[in-house]
Amino acid sequence: MDISVAQIQEIAVTYGVQILLALVIFIVGKWVARMLVNAVKRGMGRAKVDETLIGFIGNITYAILMIFVVLAALNQVGVQTTSFIAILGAAGLAVGLALQSSLSNFASGVMMIIFRPFKVGDFIEAGGTAGVVEEINIFTTQLRTGDNKTMFVPNGSIMGGNITNVSAKPTRRVDMTFGIGYGDDIKKAKEVLADILAKDERVLKDPAPLVAVAELADSSVNFAVRPWVKSGDYWGVFFDTQEQVKLRFDAEGISIPFPQTDIHLIKDDAT
């Protein structure tokens, strides 16, 4: 079949316009996508979101927007995009199933950034471990344990259980229990314990520390000793108080009961 020059010119003009419009859609769409992504990044930056998360979400957002731009440009040229959408949907489902665990960790990381149950520098107990938060990444949270080990805990494990943020409050209560013998002077022991706390400058005056008889146990009278301290002084006060109580009780003649077993031998005269 012969094609005239006029028909060729008509086809060229028609498809040329469509291609030109497709290029315009692509260029303008790309510019709009970049503008939207930058706006999202600025908003997350003002909200003090982690830089790693900002970059990751920015890249994901830009990729999704560019998919729509490319599909719109192809549709303008006359390419049927229905099959492309179906393929993308199937591929997305397959990837989602394959990366289910990783996506769960990613979603948990986003939730941690948004709701902020803890921040870098806090001491937390979560995911079956405890330590100081060093980094909050997309899929894992980096902790430094008390013996200076680095642990990478999946974000899903953290958000899937209880989170104890030890550093959330500026003050903490140190809970300790000390026992004395039943033959010792309760009032004297109470005065000694109160004096130890009063002489420690790290112990806060408000709230006032508590020294009270908590239990009449099997072999001891147990005192509950509960001073309030700044969070950073917790372990120092805990360890020093233990030592001071032993030294003062020894000096004051107050006994500290310990488990012991009495064995009675019965002599059988028949043997």
Confidence of residue 19 (pLDDT cuts 50, 70, 90): confident
Nearest 10 degrees: Cα torsion 60, 66, 72, 78: -120
What average pLDDT score do residues 94-111 get?
Answer: 67
The residue among 83 and 19 whose pLDDT is bigger is 19
**Spatial separation of the C-alpha atoms in residues 160 and 175, rounded to whole Å:** 28
| Of the ranges 12-21, 73-82, 142-151, the best mean pLDDT one | 142-151
Lowest mean pLDDT among 60-64, 156-160, 183-187, 258-262: 258-262
Confidence of residue 1 (pLDDT cuts 50, 70, 90): very low
Confidence of residue 68 (pLDDT cuts 50, 70, 90): confident
pTM of the model: 0.62
Secondary structure of residue 124 in the 3-state scheme: strand
Does position 225 have pLDDT exceeding 60, yes or no?
A: yes
Q: What is the pLDDT of residues 152-195, one digit of tens each?
A: 998 888 888 899 998 889 999 999 999 999 999 999 999 999 99
Lowest mean pLDDT among 10-14, 71-75, 76-80, 124-128: 10-14
Query: Domains in the chain, please, with CATH?
Result: 8-98 (1.10.287.1260), 117-165 (2.30.30.60), 171-252 (3.30.70.100)
What average pLDDT score do residues 117-146 get?
Answer: 87
What percent of the residues of the chain are helix, what percent strand, and what percent coil, each to the nearest 5? Answer: 50, 20, 30
Angle, helices 82-98 vs 51-77, to 10°: value is 150
Tokens of 139: 């899929």
